[in-house]
Structure 1
Amino acid sequence: MGTAQAATLAASLSRIVADPNDMVSLSDVLRQRQLIARMIEASQGEAPLQQVLNGAVHTAAQGCPAPMAKILEIDRTDDTLVLKSQCGMPAGAIGRTAGKAVEGNPAGEALKNAEPVIDIDVRRRPPESLPDILKDNNVVTSVSLPLINHDGPYGILEVDFPEPTQIGAFHISFLAVVAGVLADNIEKIHARAALIVERDAKAVLLREQQHRIRNNFQLIIAMVQRSVLQTTDDGCRKNLRDIERRVFAMASLYDHLLGLSVQAERADLGRYLSAMAASFDDFYALRTSGIALKIELQFGIDVDLDTCTTVGTIVNELVANSVEHAFGGSEGQITVSMTREADDLCAVTISDNGHGLPAAALESTGLRTVRLMLNGIGGRLDVQTAPERGVKWSILFSDTPPRKRGAAKP
């Protein structure tokens, strides 16, 4: 039981005095319990506030039974009670005021004193203290129960009758349960709304941070490119190019992530690689070098972000390897493709029609690093190569979450 439900029940039940002569039929007890059960069921999940309020007023009216029921909420700016939900009253009543939280107003007394108010005949009250909403609907008997949360009373559940009506402990206890369930539901909805506001604020902050990171990546790439142009040392230039490629792969991932939900934990690998490959021509000056790039990617294969980052970085490395070593200044073609090999096994292939890969290159430090990276996501790297027939790299990995797969050996 939540805090609001406990407080509301305690306040509503504190004034009940049972009459030993009251006789209640079993059918009436079962009917009320069924109504409460349906109310609870209808408010499960993420039911909107207005749906919960409407369900409560109908439950209260049917369980008494009462021709009218309503929910009022206090406006703290001027202590005015405002109608939030109703049944049995004319259409358009929502938003009307129901007086202030002061003595003389039945609902106001219930809220101010945090206890039920049962008025058999509100017509006996001074006319100036009686809200117009009761007069306009010819209310005679009114029963008001406070809704309470951790900040105190904030609303009223009320049932009304157009003639004098005796309301005993049986119906008051029923209304107390309805009010308690309603207060608990309202508290949960407000807490959920507060979490959504907090989440959205964090989402905006995270999005801004992602933009800054992406911009910093672009700045780093520009700085590295400038350093490449300024250095005359071939080894230093190669190292700088290696850094440039890795930063480019990460910048491409951030560009892709900026188009996804902030809470996304998985990404469409095909769309990410396609977006990254769209920048290859400018990044590697492919057309100037006479190299064609062919893309054959399958969309709809979602992978976790670690896999996305790893595969994207390796694809970038292998494309760079083909650009630098496969063609020896002649024209050629590089193909990047992706297919699903089995239920949870995917393959990304980078191939070229260049001169092939020397056997010594298969044990290079760069390829050992690539295999080590793949080992981290449970993947492997296969290669097929022959002199003057090019090279074909196959990156094989699972698209299932990391916790469900084992790591492959390098």
Structure 2
Amino acid sequence: MPDPIQRSGDRLLAQQTALARFGELALHSEDLQEILHDACRLVAEGLGTGLAKVLELQPDGRTLLVRAGVGWQPGVVGHVTLQAETGTLEGLALSIPDAVVSEDIAAETRFPIPEFMRDHGVRSLVNVTVIGADSRPPYGVLEVDSRTPRAFDTDEVAFLQTYANMLAAAVDRLRAGDELRARAADVERLFRELQHRVKNNLQVIIGLMQLQARRAVSPETQDALQVVRQRVDALRLLHDKLYLAGDVDRVDLGAYLGELAGTLLRFHAEAEQGIRLVLEMRGIIVPPEQAAPLGLIVNEFITNSLKYAFGTSGGTIGLRLEPARGGELRVILWDDGRGLPAERSSGTGMRLVEGLARQLSARADWSGAGTGTMGPGTRLTLLFRILPLR
């Protein structure tokens, strides 16, 4: 039977895994319902209860709708509404900055428990506010329920609060996008504001990932969180360039990818001594929707080269950007390391690169040890047509 320390470590691992998985989803999905549903699913897994829900505050400022949830019978999610009045659980949740915890609702005297929760056998609960951006009203409440009496400890409450902050950042990103589409006459100003918010939200998520990595109980969890953080940082750098340049429609791909590659190498400099970066770049302008997947591909290739390609003697990583025939663009990534191991060819990073290449409508050519023109190592060539600039 696992001892208490082992059980605590397992719970922390589950929570950190849930944060990492949700962090990636929150950055890429444009579907609010998908984000809310997966938020409930992953937070319920992280706390091991099987029951969670998001209560969305309606425009009247008093009514909360069960907008998403897991573990509930049909007729609850999307239908049940609650009034956030004085003396209610929902009213208390929205009126205080701290979490509301009830270890055993049978002994609860502060507020009544909604009937649908009793019908589902809820015995304990913990909830936190999903804050609004820029001093706006809160989005709502994130709540985890348990069918057995349970004392949620301070680490679990902190996990739930971190999760709610990430959810708030995702909701704010989508709401800002909705505002942009609804106010086409003011499109440039709103798009710049969106870029600013996205940049700030990405920075918040990077900070949360770094915090969780420091608390991680295993090297595997630290590595998983580090991979996610680097992917987020690649997007953060792109939005930095868009915002600072004041031109949200175009990106200098050579400058962006060159800076991204240099940042990755500096990040690993202490652990990866003797690795050299060779850049052969052109000032080629592309729209942001092509720069983003290219940045993630560069991140995956260089990260994997740093982790797997070299021994103690070091080596070289290269990145070349050049025009090709027929108005296409060629991006070449290479290293002179051990070559691409067979077990890495079906990994998450490889699948991500292939999916991003399809997003670019790019032809992707891999060559492994000794097969490329640059000698031993691994080489990835991408060939695609640049989209028209707006």
Bin of the TM-score, shorter chain as denominator length: 0.3 to 0.5
TM-score (norm 1): 0.45
Using the size of structure 2 for normalisation, the TM-score is 0.47
Higher Cα Rg, which structure: 1
